[in-house]
Structure 1
């Protein structure tokens, strides 16, 4: 497999990063994962906007545009012979002295790698979920970015122990927060509910797309802090993730839900399938 590293396309086994990279020493870095549909990077502008804001907050001197990122994507798709794929764009603070400093980071490490995917499904998928005992930690700063600080997620994955099951975090007060690698939504009485970002969740790109889609389709949405009972009393539950798309939840700890048969979940997924090959931004 070929990857992109600091301006070059290299074989993955030949890539080298300094042992003094602040991404390795201190976990200072951010990433975005996005899906490629027949060569098109769905919602790329939104992913780059979130990444650029995160980089600015910690003074990493790097900004991305659609054109610059699309050039990298096209090069990687061509050299690897892929048409449908997922990619991860990762940016760390780069090489520095082995002691934490507060200056701006002028030479970040930029890594883009991915893998091929089958053609995207036209039917809604579903999976099980389970409520975690480990609580969602608070964000490192004013809001949660998609950072390299992933220990909370790793501990949650280890608690679940099954990659086919999505773990659901509660926040420190017992409110529903998010999945290990997803945002959570549920439906009751023709209203879509989802936790607010002040529960400490990542403001996912697909989450933002679904909220925008609901507004366009006239679907009522409520965003707030909700107890676990609100989730378990739902008529439909679904999760969102930039690679797994919109996925129905058919079971939570033994309680059954419609999953891929959910009416509103299917309506949203139908529009997702119509948008995923052409939209650059949820506002497009």
Structure 2
């Protein structure tokens, strides 16, 4: 991965999409692309013209059929990473544990409605939840209203 230090990788001004890959094909790729473009447009960042070719090159380079692709875009970068699909193993479980997070979403932030690199709150909440045996934290805003 060639990485150029830009406002995305130095200050969090970038966007990402996490895309399941099933039988070697990204699931709902067009919908993920629309959401990625929407966020990047909001941030004033464009996707490289060949970004989809690069995505497919990455997908075809993988030697597995079912996994998760993460596309990360900033002003000077488009990168892809992969990981196992963490939800695939949950099909054998009787339930899924959720709980409210003590970390609140700031509904006045312009970034809260986008999947940006500025994801520190979510990572901390997820770590805290996992330590407590919770699969997924649920967030409220500063008013106590459910957000996600």
- TM band (smaller chain): 0.7 to 0.9
**Residue 42 of structure 2 corresponds to which residue in structure 1?**
57
Say which SS state the counterpart of residue 35 (structure 2) adopts: helix
Q: CA RMSD in A?
A: 2.9
**Residue 99 of structure 2 corresponds to which residue in structure 1?**
130
1:83 matched to 2:69? The reply is no
How many residues in Structure 1 have an aligned counterpart in Structure 2? 145
Q: Deviations over 1:84-109 (max 9, x none)?
A: 1110000012xxxxxxxxxxxxxx21
Equivalent of residue 110 in structure 1, options 67, 78, 84: 78
Larger Rg: 1
User: Whole-Å Cα distance in 1 between the matches of residues 120 and 105 of structure 2?
Assistant: 11
Equivalent of residue 24 in structure 1, options 1, 4, 9: 9
**Residue 266 of structure 1 corresponds to which residue in structure 2?**
none
Which of structure 1's runs of 4+ aligned residues deviate more than 4 A? none
TM-aligned CA distance change 1:162 to 1:83, over 3 Å: same
Contact 1:52 1:63 in 2 (8 A): no
With the length of structure 1 as denominator, give the TM-score of the two structures: 0.44
User: Whole-Å Cα distance in 2 between the matches of residues 168 and 58 of structure 1?
Assistant: 26
Q: Deviations over 1:2-52 (max 9, x none)?
A: xxxxxxxxxxxxx3423x321122111000001011022111111100111
Unaligned runs of 5+ in 2: none
With the length of structure 2 as denominator, give the TM-score of the two structures: 0.79
Unaligned runs of 5+ in 1: 1-14, 94-107, 179-284
